[in-house]
Structure 1
Amino acid sequence: MGRVSIDASEVRALAEDMRRIDSRLSRHVRPVVERGAVQIKNDLQAEMRKSRHFAPVARGISYDMRSPGGAYEAEIGPEKGSPGSLANIAYFGDSLGAGTVEDPTAALEREAPKFADALADLAAELALGP
C-alpha cells in the first residue's frame, strides 16, 4: 500500500495566525464593548432628560462591565434605588397609563450597527494590519 504524505505546514501556520488574532482581538474587544455601553447609557440619559416628570431619573442610569468566561458584556440601565427605581414607570407606565419615555431597547437598536462596524473594523485591522 502506498504512503500518503500531506504538507499541512500552511494550515498550521494559518491556525497559529488565527490564534494570535484571537488573543489580540479579545484584548481589544473590551474597549469596543465599553464604548458601546457608554453610548447607550448617554442615549438613555438624554431620552430620560427630555421627560418633564422623569428627568431626575437620568442620574440613576449607569452601566456595569462583566467578563464571564472571558466574554465581555455590559449591563446598562437604571440602578435600583432613588431615582432609578422610577425608571420602570417612566418606560412602561403604571395602571393609570403608558410610559412617557422611549423604550430603552431603541437606544440599543441605534447603537447596534455602530457597534458591529467597530468590531468589524477591529477584526480587519488585526487581521490585515493598520
Structure 2
Amino acid sequence: MADVFWQGMDEFIAALEGKANASQGEVSKVIERGANNIKRQLRDEMGQSRHFKQVAQAISYDMRSGGAFGGGFVEAEIGPTKGSPGSLANIAYFGTSRGGGTVADPRGALEAEMPNVEKFLGDFAVDI
C-alpha cells in the first residue's frame, strides 16, 4: 500500500514540476506586459513636462529571470537609464532646493498596473 502511495506521489510531483517549468514562460509574458504598460505611463507623464520631456526617451525596462532548487523568479526593472538625459529624472521626480519635482511619482504607475498583473497571474494560477 505504501509503495502505491509513493508512486502516486512521485507522479504528482513530476506533474507539478512540469507545470512549474511551463509556467515561467507565461509568467514572464504577464510581467513583461505589465512592465511595458508602466514604461508607457512613465513616458507619457514625463513627456507632458515642459522642462523634462526629453527624459521620456530614456525610460525603459529590463527583464530578469532565474531559478534554482525548484524555485524561480521573474522580475522587471523599469525607469530611466543613467546618463544623459536619464540622469535628470531624479530632479524631475523629486526636485532639488532650486526646483523640479513636477513629474508624478513613478510609484503611481506601478500602483495603477498592479491590479492588472495580479488579475492575470491569478487567472493563470487557477488555470494550472
Pairwise TM-score range, normalised by the shorter structure:
0.7 to 0.9
Unmatched 5+ stretches in structure 2: none
More strand by share: 2
1:55 to 53, 56, 60: 53
Instruction: From the superposition, tell whether residues 24 and 44 of structure 1 become closer, same or farther in structure 2 (CA, over 3 Å).
Output: same
Partners of 2:31 and 2:116 lie apart in 1 by: 11
What TM-score, normalized by structure 1, do the two folds share? 0.83
Q: Which string of whole-angstrom CA distances, capped at 9 and with x for unpartnered residues, describes residues 72-127 of structure 1?
A: 111110011111111000000011245000111111111111111111122223x2
Q: Verify: 1:65 aligned to 2:63, yes or no.
A: yes
Q: How many residues align?
A: 122
Partners of 1:21 and 1:67 lie apart in 2 by: 17
- Give the 4+ runs in structure 1 shifted more than 4 A: none
Larger Rg: 1
Which 10-residue stretch deviates more, 6-15 or 73-82? 6-15
Unmatched 5+ stretches in structure 1: none
What TM-score, normalized by structure 2, do the two folds share? 0.85
The DSSP-based 3-state class of the residue aligned with 1:72 is strand
